[in-house]
Structure 1
């Protein structure tokens, strides 16, 4: 395109047009840009209405010419939303007529309905950009114009609602109250789109003209109520159910109602509205036979689980199994949701012993995860000991039983008949460890005491005051040898028992194990204290008997054994 012509169209320079000879009009004005935009496209884009009027009078054929995207000058004018230019083009189109007897569509309507490469009309362009006046002019020129859809399968009513232009949507709806298409991409309707924007005024208008639109489902099987429940729009849930309560019972492709969706996402306000309007909606199950409580457990929604347990009208969901026989407690164990396990297991109405169709209880399913830690141990304990029922059973059978005979209390007898093989083995190991440690501690105590009650007493005068009187006697040396040896090995035995006890801690599947592992560093501190205790006693023995050569040798053995251990 000639630069002067392009600049004149951009600035609306009418003097430039007047300076052209009439012979130059046809060829000069028909120049195009690299994108095949004509001078009318350029003038419309820059909103030069007087220039557009002058060009259409000089060269009417430019009105029909499309650019490389298929856009006519009317598309451009509608997109920029300059209603004055839109009116000029509509008037220009209406000056063209066709013989009515031929049965063809009127020529001006054909021009108004011309589509671009995206199958969009000028009305689509005006609607997409929210230009109310341009939309109004185009609809008045052709009321049936509103039934066209583009390549994206977006009818005008849906497009306006999805964009939030409800004044335009109402304009389109009034032009064809019942005939205009409202179904958009993936089966979503204009009502679905309005649900997202929460425009109740438009919803009430469209429900008056199309009352059944509220039941229409998209490709997922979701109604507008499903989406309102998903987003937690309680006021819309109330509006929808007041208009048509049947929609609460509509199931999606997975058999889930809006109540299932709200429970899975955690929208308690939406759940309350649905239960208030339709109390029996809680009986609905999905394709797997799962209730809203199952959905809440799978969605890890602790507050929803608590709400359902606290709502009297929903108590029938507590132990209801799905098609696999899994109760909500089973699903909480399978999904390793410790908090929900805690909530369910602590409710006395929950059947902890319930089995699914594979004859598995919740506690049987949980250990398969091989989880460790305090939360896992607590969950496993609650599942195993039946929550409140287990505590009640423990009180009835444990705390309130008759006191055992005194002999049994003194002997500390334990009934191992009810234990399995693993528990019996652990019990026997712990008993042996306790016995060995007791004996070793007794020997260490006796030998330690003997070091300060030397046979023959101590010297009370002279430079050797405080030393043993019998340090030169062979029998005394034998006493010191055996006493020190016994003390040394008894202390070593005590230390080894501590080490063995650390290795024999309970497995990570119990609360006791978590406690023991949490405090396992105490065994290390106990070992250090034994070392210092041993060194202290050895130094005292050496102080009393340092003249005896064998004592030094024994002390070296003593200290060497201590460090080796």
Structure 2
């Protein structure tokens, strides 16, 4: 029994060993197995190869092992591979600041693979400058100095990137490598000094101006200097530092003629305005191309504190300038027509906005109105069921009970008070209340009304039927009191009738008065709308109902149905 399994396993083991020998015989020298290849080049979620993952983790021994296994030619191909974000292993190591990994990868890299740009248009040198990894940049510059002049998609150098982030040590390193980097402008014409001034990095601005003082006079495509950018911020020390090489930059205007004082005034920065006014040689009453002085801009924006400071410095609202050409009537007429057109367009825009706002209010009120009608329908149904239940039960609980045994002059089941006139009145009005209530229940549980006006009409009719049901059930109750109190105490029944009559008639009269007044107001408002519509058509003017009119017309807070 024990020898049978061994005899069966023997051929299987031979077959398995035969397959292994066959695979080894078909494997070429120097080739790798599928599992080994998959282990080396299996992409992750971001398309990272094994070298990318090792570089991201900063695992230097693993990086060395992968590069050694790939060989000299394979290592060069391996370091140039990019993941789904376009990042090489060198890019990832530079971004993470792994200096040893960067040094190891650079040993098998050339300038082309080192300057490979990711999807962000940054290469390894740019990303290291952005993240502030000084030692990584030193390793890259030591082997490939030409990386310092590479640019991204907006033509920004690594110096511009480092200056924007405020990395002073990296800025100094790059300026020592090539001082002309500070003069390279982006696509919009802004230099590194513009970026540093706008972000408020004073130490970076000092380093740039110490290397090239004339860069402070450079302008971008809008004609703005770095001082224009600085006055948009809050750092007054930045302004003083930019004025140190050449104070005349304070009177340079941009393409619209706005000088730094105009910009600071428009930004309503009182501290910046005071700093500029303290500089000797500033032209307080300089006029831009729109004919505005700094004080005129301040008055237009309503900055009283800045206006007071400017007046103390001798500023005026208007600065008279000689006109080189006499006024042109055609140009004046064209300007007038343009102003009128602009006013009409703004009025139409305002009218459309008002109309949209009114329509939103109207829809919201309609929703509330529909909700009120639905609540009225539900209330009518509940009250109708209640009245029908009371009316049905009242006929079988009359005073004196019923005939249960054969009695002369009566039939079995007949009420003892059946011949009483008060009971006959009770029976009649109780039946009316019962069947009116049942009719209301049948209608409101059978009909589904979608249109708002039809729903309102149905609620009006059902509501008046419920009035009648309440009135009839009250009459039946009062008539039954004449049976209950007896002939000797009819005064109690008369008192009950007086109380019920006063309360019911007052309630129903008040409701009728509310209904009549509501109808009158609706009719008068309809007439007013017709007249206003005819007047608007004759005068070609646009009239819109106000919010109060909507609230006080068909969408009142409360009204009787």
TM-score by length of 2: 0.49
TM-score by length of 1: 0.49
